[in-house]
Amino acid sequence: MYISETTIRVRYAETDRMGYVYYGNYTQYFEVGRVEALRQLGSSYKDMEDNGVMLPVYTCNIKYHKPAFYDDLLIIKTTIKELPTARITFDYEIYNQKNELLNTGNTTLVFIDMKTNRPCPAPKSFIDKIKAYF
């Protein structure tokens, strides 16, 4: 299992009229979490795309527990529980600076060969980097 943490501060533009983080912004926070998780592994979306593999989102699930507010410091905990195949699933927990759980969710992405536009196995270079955690 691979676990990564990254932080992000809520910007004013991300809040709604009630002062809460607008619910749709959590998917962007999930993206920050997974992009940084890959980067911490020594990989990146850009590297994969430069090598002919893209990673579109296949599913996304979110559960809201408590709201986040403007200027909160959010901790995005991103976990990969299974070694990727042609799909990779990221699980997320988002906490505020008081360590209160605000949000949980997951996304499944599919490795797609950009030449054929068909699913393909996860790149060997990526598997080599992540397999040490499993």
Using alpha carbons, select from 125, 41, 120 the residue that is nearest to residue 80: 41
**Structural domain total, the chain:** 1
CATH number reported for the structural domain that contains residue 46 in this entry? 3.10.129.10
Token match 């054929």: residue?
116
pLDDT confidence tier of residue 129, bands split at 50, 70 and 90:
very high
When the pLDDT of each residue in the chain is averaged and rounded to a whole number, the result is 96
Residue 62 domain boundaries: 2-133
Q: Global pTM? A: 0.94
Alpha-carbon gap, residue 81 to 90, rounded angstroms: 8
Q: What are phi and psi of 123, to 5 degrees?
A: -55, 140
Question: Is the confidence at residue 121, as pLDDT, over 90?
Answer: yes
Mean pLDDT in residue range 114-124? 97
Q: Return the H-helix or E-strand segment holding 75.
A: strand 73-80
The owner of tokens 């905990």 is 77
